[in-house]
């Protein structure tokens, strides 16, 4: 695939073919430069990092993290922990933990107005335990891919007539609470669902598409041979594997909760690319792609980064 950017006509043909093969709405974007495909196998889930960044050996389990804790203090090694060492900070101090309580209180308040709000979140039951680990998923009744944040927005609107849009603090707090009820449960996005895989392929296209004034793709910083593992001024970009597990997260440099799609928008701003709204179908597809790369890794909410 690496030669396909050397010959624009070939690149266009290759992209058109990929787009057709994926039933992709991006089929007309034949003149979009792409970062070479890293050939990720969705069936491997988070284990796809083996032979990719190969850093999973340091962060796969808590025992691995404990054993390699010293790397956190070494500037050239810290990126190999993929931020997962921060999940071992089991203190009840950061606002991510407060968001669990605030989200729980919000759900209680909204469910008191109409108990159907809770059963909408739980798709028929009021018990949310373990359910967030299966998101994003295709909802046949809605006819679209639904994320946890998308489910919250939908249930607030359809049951209570209330707007709790994705990206707003109330939505993110409820999401933190919802996902905390799956903490420790391995993520299992259903790649056996054809609609989920269509979304995965669209998200994959977006991951490699160069965008914006800086002409960069997600892949420019997050695949082997890219900037991943190298210094990008004060930062060192890490592997995309396992990354969605801790979102929404409390961002210490920002001082706020942030959902994964808000993180996409922040990245795009840094890439000088037109950012999209949380809940945008392109961001939802990208979340599907990214979350499949976390399949098998436990939900790690609440968290701070």
Partner 1 sequence: MKRTLRMLAAVLTGLTFAGMAGAQGAPAPQAPPDYSVFPCLSYTQACGKVATRPPVKKALDGPLNGNPEKGKQLAQARNRGNCLACHVIPGGSQPGTRGPDLSHFGSSGRSDAEAYAMVFDMRTVNPETLMPPFGTNDILNEQELRDVVAYLLTFR
CA–centroid distance for 113 within its chain: 32
**Residue 2 engages partner 1 in binding (rule: CB under 8 A):** yes
Helix (H, G, I), strand (E, B) or coil at 304: strand
End-to-end Cα distance, the chain? 35
Residue 57 lies near partner 1 (rule: CB under 8 A):
no
Closer to partner 1 by CB, 15 or 187: give it: 15
* Residue of 235, 275, 266 whose CA lies nearest to 248: 266
Phi, psi at 75, each rounded to 5°: -55, -35
Q: Which of 154, 210, 222, 263 binds partner 1 (CB under 8 A)?
A: 210
Which of these segments, 113-121, 153-161, 183-191, 223-231, binds partner 1 (CB under 8 A)? 223-231
Among 1, 19, 95, 208, binds partner 1 (CB under 8 A): 95
Residue 250 CB, shortest distance to partner 1, in Å, is 8
Say how far residue 193 (Cα) sits from the centre of its chain: 19
Which residues face 137 on adjacent strands? 146
Question: Is the distance from CB of 207 to CB of 289 less than 8 angstroms?
Answer: yes
Residue listed under structure tokens 């931020």: 83
Instruction: Indicate whether 75 belongs to the interface with partner 1 (CB under 8 A).
Output: no
32 binds partner 1 (CB under 8 A): yes
- Residues with Cβ within 8 Å of 9's Cβ and at least 6 positions away in sequence, in order, are none
Site for partner 1 in 150-179 (CB under 8 A): none
Q: Which stretch binds partner 1 (CB under 8 A): 55-63, 83-91, 153-161, 167-175?
A: 83-91
Does residue 93 belong to the site contacting partner 1 (CB under 8 A)? yes
Regarding 201 and contact with partner 1 (CB under 8 A), the answer is no
Closest alpha carbon to 217 in 12, 36, 94, 81:
36
Binding mask 246-285 for partner 1 (x = CB under 8 A): ----xxxxxxx-----------xx--xxxxx---xxxx--
Helix, coil or strand: residue 145: strand
Q: Which residues bind partner 1 (CB under 8 A)?
A: 2, 5-6, 8, 25-26, 28-33, 36, 72, 85-86, 88-89, 91, 93-95, 206, 209-216, 220, 226-227, 230-234, 250-256, 268-269, 272-276, 280-283, 286, 304
């Amino acid at each position: 695939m690496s030669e396909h950017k050397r010959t624009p006509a070939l690149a266009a043909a290759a992209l058109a073919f990929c787009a057709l093969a994926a039933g992709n709405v991006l089929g007309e974007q034949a003149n979009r430069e792409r970062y070479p495909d890293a050939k990720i196998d969705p069936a491997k889930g988070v284990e796809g990092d083996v032979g990719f960044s190969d850093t999973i050996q340091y962060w796969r389990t808590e025992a691995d993290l404990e054993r390699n804790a010293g790397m956190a203090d070494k500037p050239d090694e810290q990126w190999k922990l993929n931020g997962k060492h921060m999940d071992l900070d089991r203190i009840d101090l950061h606002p991510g933990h407060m968001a669990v309580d605030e989200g729980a209180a919000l759900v209680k308040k909204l469910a008191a107005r109409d108990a159907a709000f809770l059963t909408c979140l739980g798709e028929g039951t009021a018990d949310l335990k373990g359910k967030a680990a299966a998101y994003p998923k295709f909802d046949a009744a809605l006819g679209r891919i639904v994320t946890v944040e998308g489910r919250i927005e939908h249930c607030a609107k359809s049951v209570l007539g209330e707007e709790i849009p994705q990206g707003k603090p109330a939505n993110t707090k409820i999401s933190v609470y919802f996902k905390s009820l799956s903490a420790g449960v391995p993520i299992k996005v259903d790649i056996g669902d054809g609609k989920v895989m269509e979304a995965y392929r669209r998200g994959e296209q977006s991951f490699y598409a160069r965008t914006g004034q800086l002409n960069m793709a997600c892949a420019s910083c997050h695949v082997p041979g890219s900037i991943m593992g190298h210094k990008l001024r004060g930062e060192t970009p890490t592997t995309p594997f396992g990354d969605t597990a801790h979102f929404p997260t409390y961002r210490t440099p920002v001082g706020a909760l942030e959902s994964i799609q808000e993180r996409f928008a922040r990245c795009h701003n840094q890439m000088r690319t037109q950012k999209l709204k949380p809940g945008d179908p392109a961001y939802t597809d990208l979340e599907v792609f990214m979350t499949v790369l976390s399949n098998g890794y436990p939900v790690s909410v609440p968290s701070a980064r």
